[in-house]
Amino acid sequence: MYIITNTDNGKLYVGIATGRNGIYQRWKNYIDNGHDGNTELSKLVEQQEKRT
């Protein structure tokens, strides 16, 4: 289990990474596509991109 803190608004995102490669694979997927298929996180990424 892991927690990501949004330093802009203080909101927390709690995630879990299971499977053979666990957290390593999860973070690799985040690096590759920004959201790893997580629709809520994908929305946040899109909102942030619109700000910049």
13: closest CA among 39, 36, 41? 41
Burial class from Cβ neighbours inside 10 Å (0-12, 13-18, 19+) for residue 3 reads exposed
Give this prediction's pTM.
0.47
Digit-by-digit pLDDT tens for the chain (52 residues) are: 889 898 999 999 898 888 888 888 877 887 787 767 778 877 877 887 888 6
**How far is the CA of 29 from the CAs of 11, 44, 52, in angstroms?**
22, 16, 23
pLDDT of residue 22: 86
pLDDT of residue 7: 93
The two structure tokens encoding residue 16: 């879990």
pLDDT of residue 10: 95
